[in-house]
Amino acid sequence: HPLRILAISGSLRQSSSNTTLMNAIIGLAPHSMTFTTYTSLNDLPHFNPDLDTDNGPLSVQHLRTQLDGADGVLICSPEYGNGVPGALKNALDWIVSSGEFVNKPTAVITASPSPMGGNYANASLLLTLEMINAQVSQQMSLTIPHIALKLSKDGTITDLTLKQHLKSILHALQQACY
Ligand code: FNR
């Protein structure tokens, strides 16, 4: 079957560069990869083990079902305060106990207008994903500095080196999913 990839943006912002980038990456992918975008980060309650029961919140069940049905995951996220955006970390916290990330190939991309590219958030995401036994690798992670100079608002990747790099990440993700 064609690979099913769940794409998650860590930004809730309407004109998010990371969401725009995520959609541009989807546009670069081969037909053998199909994408579903998860757009419900904002629906999840704050992680609370007391709510983490068999009949827990519907939004959490939905996230878990979406992940369960995916062969791989693509995460595009900003960095806030040198860390992972709370909304995204919250979603990952809901998966620690249920295990849908176990052995799941996961590409981790952070983009920022700063010269650092969200490197702290990227490293932190990898730490969390490793803890929940997702399959992560250097070939599938990237920090992108100066994103505003490389991606136009309409979603065109104007930096050809970046475009190639993103294609190679998609290739690595595809290989990891088989
Ligand atoms: C930021 N930004 C930011 N950038 C970064 O590289 N490291 C950081 O620690 C932070 N911290 C931070 C805190 C707050 C409160 C804001 C509003 C912004 C800048 C951030 O990268 C920029 O706003 C991006 O455009 C956010 O990503 P999206 O929403 O465009 O995907």
From CA 57, how far away is CA 49, in angstroms rounded? 12
For 76-116, the pLDDT digits (tens) are 999 999 999 999 999 999 999 999 999 999 999 999 999 99
* Distance from Cα 17 to the centre of ligand 1, integer Å: 10
Whole-number mean pLDDT of the chain? 98
For 133-173, the pLDDT digits (tens) are 999 999 999 999 999 999 999 999 999 999 999 999 999 99
DSSP structural state of residue 62: H
The pLDDT of residue 106 is 99
Domain total of the chain:
1
Report pTM. 0.98
The domain of 148 spans: 3-177
The pLDDT of residue 137 is 98
Closest CA to 19 of 101, 80, 78: 78
The pLDDT of residue 115 is 97
CATH number at residue 67: 3.40.50.360
From CA 109, how far away is CA 119, in angstroms rounded? 9
From CA 101, how far away is CA 121, in angstroms rounded? 18
Residue of the nearest CA to atom 11 in ligand 1? 80
114 Cα nearest atom in ligand 1? 6
From CA 87, how far away is CA 161, in angstroms rounded? 30
Please give all residues whose beta carbon lies within 6 A of any atom in ligand 1, as ranges: 11, 13, 16-18, 78-82, 112-114, 116, 118
Do 120 and 153 form a contact (C-beta atoms < 8 A)? Answer: no
17 Cα nearest atom in ligand 1? 30
The pLDDT of residue 88 is 99
The dihedral region occupied by 43, where left means phi > 0, alpha psi between -120 and 50, and beta the remainder, is alpha
Residue of the nearest CA to atom 22 in ligand 1? 112
Residue of the nearest CA to atom 29 in ligand 1? 16
For 48-86, the pLDDT digits (tens) are 999 999 899 999 999 999 999 999 999 999 999 999 999
Average pLDDT over residues 32-50: 98
